[in-house]
Structure 1
């Protein structure tokens, strides 16, 4: 083999090695998800108020009176969907169908338009609100901007990308964040006022942190919550129900 061919082979081998390492690195990254706690999994049990169906997406349907507004929720990055079951069930118990999106590798960024299929699969729901936690909220904001059928946006410890200017839309928006959150950039969360509608509601949950919106244990780099038990989730449910109720008036 001459020297020229030898260098070509070495370059080709180098490219293959880099690609293999990149793919391996990606799968190592996405495989390390935050698993839902046993307490969260208990909320997957149907009861006399909410029927729960696990069919890829998690569907929480009110047993008795159901409002005509459905809530699509995108989980935070690398967080199992089940971690938000307690929140979803609490909202559904008040009459609002909730669907937690099934996302590849628990990453909304890999399936930002997952809501398309959810909406198509539920023609019985006539009006829609979308939301998400952390990166899930970022992707939900992008979706809301591009889809006129979405009436409302709920952000949990999240904010739109700078290019996602929602300020001139008719969207109703609720932004919730914990005062002890050390994962999300709270300055950007609160600073998103400039790209959100002027009537956006910003609510700080005193003592709450980033991971407290779900049940998946302590998130790396997060601040400590000073709230007891499920208080942050209960507060979130109450604020979301109030928000949805205003849309329903």
Structure 2
């Protein structure tokens, strides 16, 4: 009788162990599927990844570099892509910024999620020690992680540009001395909070805000429509042109 009870206990333990193993494997598989479903770049973004008369484009396993052949600025730009978006999707706006003489580097994130490497931009800065002033730009999750990087490295950056993004409350930048530009689309359907409700996390007298009328969340990049987003009433090109012009005005005023 005692032996039977022991056998039953062993049987149930075996079932529990197998069940937990199945759950763990299922969770891992689910996570891998999720992490592998990044939004790919559209054709027009891929087309500007070739070097030209004005810009040299270099790709490595860690970043994409847009280097103007007539570099006129001592400031460089680091760009953090949005979550689950392939970095090439941001080629258009970053190449346009580089055309004005800025060295621009898009950082490739692990699993296309900046949350896994919020300080990866430090490797870029170490690669270009001659740069005097750094601006970091980020879209969506990439913007939040850029803000986290700034929060943890307050003397490393001159400017922070947030595209449809805001800092976490734990990364409050309201007392920071950094210059901030916040741009968002009027019809954004992805953000958890409206941008105006998060502005208290940014420096009061050093923050510039632009709402793009008719813009949405996804049109800052070139990766198609995004789940949960609202349709824009302006074109993708229009939103990106407004974004680039505003960033260049912001950088030029510093």
The answer to whether the superposition gives a TM-score over 0.5 is yes
Task: For residue 162 of structure 1, report the CA deviation from its aligned partner.
Answer: 1.2
Task: For residue 229 of structure 1, report the CA deviation from its aligned partner.
Answer: 4.8
What corresponds to 2:165 in structure 1? 158
1:238 and 2:245 aligned: yes
Change (3 A) 1:34 1:54: same
What does residue range 131-150 of structure 1 map to in structure 2 within 5 Å?
A: 131-147=137-153, 148-150=155-157
Unaligned runs of 5+ in 2: 1-5
- Aligned CA-pair RMSD: 1.2
Stretch moving more, 4-13 or 198-207: 4-13
Does the aligned pair in 2 maintain the 1:66–1:97 contact within 8 Å?
A: no
Distance 2:216 2:182 in 1: 14
Stretch moving more, 222-231 or 204-213: 222-231
Distance 1:186 1:3 in 2: 53
Distance 2:118 2:235 in 1: 33
Does the aligned pair in 2 maintain the 1:212–1:233 contact within 8 Å?
A: yes
1:86 and 2:92 aligned: yes
What corresponds to 2:3 in structure 1? none
SS in 2 for 1:177: strand
Distance 1:96 1:13 in 2: 56
1:201 and 2:208 aligned: yes
Q: Which runs of 4+ in 1 moved over 6 A?
A: none
SS in 2 for 1:2: helix
Distance 2:162 2:16 in 1: 47
Does the aligned pair in 1 maintain the 2:140–2:165 contact within 8 Å?
A: yes
Unaligned runs of 5+ in 1: none
Residues 92-112 of structure 1, C-alpha deviations (whole Å, 9 max, x = no match): 000111111011111111111
What corresponds to 1:23 in structure 2? 28
What corresponds to 1:183 in structure 2? 190
What corresponds to 2:46 in structure 1? 41
Residues 163-205 of structure 1, C-alpha deviations (whole Å, 9 max, x = no match): 1110111010000001111111452x11222111012111011
1:4 and 2:9 aligned: yes
What corresponds to 2:129 in structure 1? 123
Distance 2:241 2:226 in 1: 19
Distance 1:33 1:39 in 2: 18
Change (3 A) 1:229 1:9: closer
Question: Which of residues 95, 103, 119 in structure 2 aligns to 1:97?
Answer: 103
Residues 45-76 of structure 1, C-alpha deviations (whole Å, 9 max, x = no match): 11122111111200011111331111111100
Does the aligned pair in 1 maintain the 2:220–2:236 contact within 8 Å?
A: no
Distance 2:187 2:250 in 1: 23
Task: For residue 207 of structure 1, report the CA deviation from its aligned partner.
Answer: 1.0
**Number of equivalenced pairs:** 246
